[in-house]
Amino acid sequence: MSRKGSNMSSRISSYNDLEQERKRLEALLEYHRGVIQEDIREIKDELQPVRNVFGFIKKFTTKDKTNALLNIGSEFAINTLLKRFVLSRTGWLVRAVVPFLVKNYSSHIISEKKDQWIDKIVGWLRHKSAKIRKAEREAAAAGNKSATANSATATAASASAATPAPVTATGNPSHNHL
């Protein structure tokens, strides 16, 4: 039972020989699987620049539809800036194609960076609200101090209200400059 092209040096004559041959073939199979996997990994690494270029082109030709509200806002801004200002003196083809490409690309950028931008906005809002709360506390503390001063002013004003202001030629007591 010898096989042509086999690395086997002798015929299989017993069950033990069969088991040894099976183990040798399984080891050879695992070795070749490893070689194939390494070759595939090397091919992927060699093709990575091409994949990057296609991914970049895909960002220009397709729109990321996961953030509809943000995309609507960016499309409005892009239309306003590009069509009305930047591309206002170009031909109709450029005015149609460039905004399309920029809108598609910006939708992907927004999708990738939205979490960072949201974190920045939330941090900014927290900072602003902390400033507002601090100003309110300071105003309340200053209000307590001025409340005692205001009560003294109010009693002085009520005492002066008892004496009437002199009437001027116009008949208006606020025009006392004559």
DSSP 81: I
- Among residues 148, 63, 74, the alpha carbon closest in space to that of 108 is found at 63
Q: Which residues contact 166 (CB under 8 A, 6 or more apart)?
A: 173, 176
pLDDT digits (tens, 9 = 90+) for 72-122: 888 898 888 888 888 888 898 998 899 999 999 988 888 888 888 888 888
By CB atoms closer than 10 A (0-12, 13-18, 19+), residue 153 is: exposed
Whole-angstrom distance, CA of residue 46 vs CA of residue 161: 93
pLDDT digits (tens, 9 = 90+) for 13-26: 999 999 999 999 99
pTM, entire model: 0.48
